[in-house]
Copies of this chain bind each other. A is one copy, B any other.
């Protein structure tokens, strides 16, 4: 297996030449036949539609060659089989193993890592069941009604997005056990507001930090403990930890229990571990979380398919690279037509931008082609009344990723003007795809829509736990494949280090830079 820079592949030049010669005008070709044909089944009943993408057979043929030449499936196999894919940190990358054994058993020091992950899964699921059954109580003997996760970055964005994604579904299906809240920012107003709105006697805190040294999270832990003590409560009866076995939080009597992940689970890929699983199992019960894992595992399996027409994550990745490196679109908007996915774009923003926002290849050599795009998004229909103006009529083209479901989660709806709101929601979604693709001529240039705005659509029946797992894994695998194409290490994040170093300098008072000192003074530090 070979790790080649993207621009050193034979197919790169072919794609470049092809892109200069012609770009498929889907604007004129988007018809019922194309919409019906350009669909790839995904896990848990979802589907990936790429009819409104600027790719024809010739382009797809080249993208297929790219998948072969960059050995994308072989690299994915190497990853799940435990090779050191995270070169910068000399680590395996094993988040897939959290939800199923797709490859060979991954052994280390005679230990089967999959067994370790499974053991932790069962441990935090049992803990959640015990809490839900009232076996744990707060220090004044009351049942817990709220779980509050303290974490930042991957310990916050993914779990929060997934919680919000399933909250209504759980309520509608009698699965809601606890309310969940989240404290992330080191801004004290964040923790203070969450605490002020909570009944501490009934609150269970989950402290999440892999290293056990995250500045924001430790500050918030002490913030919370201070409040618990002042309320006459015993913090050790109100707090569990999710961390690595080597961290100061592990096997620590300050916590009810500690659940473990290891260095092979990156923060932004940790939603399938105790980082996401503990809070989700507490909120909705372990079965819901396990259904989520099943959907993700099914997606992981589909992503092993060499046939790009049967591998939605791979296809999506290839199109993204086509749009980024050859059509020169530097951003992508994620637009779920589902209020439940209101924070899903924020999670994808981290997952994608932190993974592939890189300027060196996996060997640490500078590269001179564009890597990961800027990701942003808000739910539809809200976005339509906001930034869609630029998407339709701006001077730049932004590729779009729509997500939609036939059914709402709560089935609580009202009919107005002969249609229920869910129907209106999806009518808007269909209308937007076609409006972006086909545009509209007009003698009044201000009312003219150029069209040719490419979009994909992931659609399914309902946003269930399994569908959510499928959706999450789709994006994780897409980002992984793109990292392989660009030959970057998608699993480290050296770009966060410099800020940490300079922050320490500021806090120590030993600035070492007069601009840093002056900015600090302006800000009252």
Chain B residue nearest to A439 in the complex (CB): B498
Q: In the complex, how many angstroms separate the beta carbon of A332 from the nearest chain B beta carbon?
A: 10
* A187 close to B408 (CB less than 8 A): yes
What are the residues of chain B within 8 A of A369 when measuring CB–CB? 395
* B386 close to A350 (CB less than 8 A): yes
* Contact stretch, chosen from A68-76, A114-122, A251-259, A417-425: A417-425
* A378 close to B410 (CB less than 8 A): no
Is A143 located at the chain interface by the 8 A CB criterion?
A: no
> Within A335-380, which residues are at the interface with B (CB < 8 Å)?
337-340, 346, 349-350, 353-354, 356-360, 364-367, 369-372, 374-376, 378-380
What are the residues of chain B within 8 A of A422 when measuring CB–CB? 187-188
> Known contacts A152-B385, A389-B493: does B358 contact A371 (CB below 8 Å)?
no
Is A16 located at the chain interface by the 8 A CB criterion?
A: no
* Contact stretch, chosen from A198-206, A233-241, A472-480, A500-508: A500-508
* A393 close to B431 (CB less than 8 A): no
* A185 close to B414 (CB less than 8 A): no
Is A516 located at the chain interface by the 8 A CB criterion?
A: yes
Is A19 located at the chain interface by the 8 A CB criterion?
A: no
Q: In the complex, how many angstroms separate the beta carbon of A468 from the nearest chain B beta carbon?
A: 14
Is A447 located at the chain interface by the 8 A CB criterion?
A: yes
Please report whether the interface of chain A is mostly helix, strand, loop or mixed according to DSSP.
helix
Is A4 located at the chain interface by the 8 A CB criterion?
A: no
* B331 close to A523 (CB less than 8 A): no
* A389 close to B507 (CB less than 8 A): no
What are the residues of chain B within 8 A of A188 when measuring CB–CB? 408, 410, 412-414, 420-422, 425
Chain B residue nearest to A156 in the complex (CB): B382
What are the residues of chain B within 8 A of A354 when measuring CB–CB? 386-390
Is A41 located at the chain interface by the 8 A CB criterion?
A: no
Is A49 located at the chain interface by the 8 A CB criterion?
A: yes
Is A430 located at the chain interface by the 8 A CB criterion?
A: yes
Is A154 located at the chain interface by the 8 A CB criterion?
A: yes
Q: In the complex, how many angstroms separate the beta carbon of A436 from the nearest chain B beta carbon?
A: 9
With A and B bound together, what is the CA distance between A398 and B376 in angstroms? Answer: 13
Most B C-beta atoms less than 10 A away, residue of A388, A430, A518: A430
* Contact stretch, chosen from A211-219, A271-279, A302-310: A211-219
* B505 close to A360 (CB less than 8 A): no
With A and B bound together, what is the CA distance between A449 and B429 in angstroms? Answer: 41
Is A84 located at the chain interface by the 8 A CB criterion?
A: no
What are the residues of chain B within 8 A of A449 when measuring CB–CB? 495, 498
Name A414's contact: one of B226, B268, B393, B426 (CB within 8 Å): B226
Is A109 located at the chain interface by the 8 A CB criterion?
A: no
With A and B bound together, what is the CA distance between A389 and B154 in angstroms? Answer: 13
* B515 close to A32 (CB less than 8 A): yes
With A and B bound together, what is the CA distance between A461 and B522 in angstroms? Answer: 10
* A495 close to B392 (CB less than 8 A): yes
A sample of 19 cross-chain residue pairs with beta-carbon separation below 8 angstroms, ordered by A number, consists of A31-B515, A35-B519, A88-B446, A153-B385, A153-B386, A156-B385, A187-B421, A189-B339, A354-B386, A358-B395, A359-B394, A365-B445, A369-B395, A388-B496, A392-B496, A406-B524, A424-B503, A439-B498, A449-B498
Task: Contacts A384-B499, A427-B525 known; list 8 others, CB within 8 Å.
Answer: A30-B515, A157-B382, A187-B408, A192-B408, A219-B424, A358-B395, A359-B394, A426-B520
7 closest residue pairs by CB, A with B: A357-B390, A153-B385, A406-B524, A431-B502, A376-B376, A350-B386, A392-B495
